[in-house]
Amino acid sequence: MSDDEHQSEGEGAPMEIPEPVVVKYCPVCTMPYEYCEFSNTKKQCYTRLKEDDPDLFAELLGDLNLDEVQDKKKPAQVKFTEDTKKSAIVVTRIQRTKKKFASNIAGLKAFGIDLKKASKAISGRFAASSSVVGDDEVQVTGDVTVDIVDFLTSKFDGIKKEDIKIVFKNKKPKADTS
Ligand SMILES: [Zn+2]
């Protein structure tokens, strides 16, 4: 048994490390909460802050009454909510392996399209197997992104080019491939 110097006291009296300043960003206006007062969404910002971090709210704003906060301008800037509401068809190309892709088409429902019919039409057009998955998605084997816009816009009335968004989800290259 050796009771050397197991307890190495004095070696490192814990130094006082100043706490790093953590800047919290406001998810509403994307600026640090300190700057929310300059944003056009002040009221939303503060409402969010109050829910998320009441302490910080108190620190920055004391007992501010949210009902008294007015956003600077109203209509023009509220675009954001409108945009998110606007329905869009999102075509996602998913890379499965190096050469294999699948494509996911979501959002057709909002255009009044029967998903089963769409799936059939797509599989016919692209000679791929296609199926309805979930509530509002058609999944196709292969990469259909090249022609899907033309196909959808010509096949279905009411779909415009601008309604379709294409997203590429590529497989992340492995670190150890060389
Ligand atoms: Zn904010």
pLDDT of residue 23: 85
Q: How far is the CA of 78 from the centre of ligand 1 (A)?
A: 14
Assign 172 to helix, strand or coil. coil
Q: Are 115 and 136 in contact (CB under 8 A)?
A: yes
pLDDT in tens, 4-52: 545 545 555 667 777 777 788 999 999 999 999 888 899 999 999 999 9
Q: How far is the CA of 43 from the centre of ligand 1 (A)?
A: 8
Residue 97 shares a structural domain with residue 74: no
Q: What is the CATH number of the domain that holds 147?
A: 3.30.780.10
Residue 101: pLDDT over 90:
yes
For the whole prediction, is pTM greater than 0.75? no
Mean pLDDT, the chain, integer:
83
Comparing 82-91, 120-129, 140-149, 164-173, the range with the smallest average pLDDT is 82-91
Q: How far is the CA of 162 from the centre of ligand 1 (A)?
A: 30
Around ion ligand 1, residues with a beta carbon closer than 5 Å are: 26, 28-29, 36, 39, 45
Residue 94, CA distances (Å) to 121, 135, 137 in order:
20, 19, 14
Please, which pLDDT band fits residue 98 given cuts at 50, 70 and 90?
confident
Residue 106 shares a structural domain with residue 57: no
Name residues whose C-beta falls within 8 Å of residue 155's C-beta, 6 or more positions apart in sequence.
121, 125
Q: Give the chain's domain count.
A: 2
Range of the domain at 107: 87-169
Cα separation, 119 vs 113, in Å, equals 10
Q: Are 145 and 91 in contact (CB under 8 A)?
A: yes
Q: Say which amino acid occupies 10.
A: G
pLDDT of residue 157: 87
Residue 96 shares a structural domain with residue 65: no
Q: Say which amino acid occupies 142.
A: G
Q: How far is the CA of 21 from the centre of ligand 1 (A)?
A: 18
Neighbours of 35 (CB within 10 A): 13
Residue 165 shares a structural domain with residue 93: yes
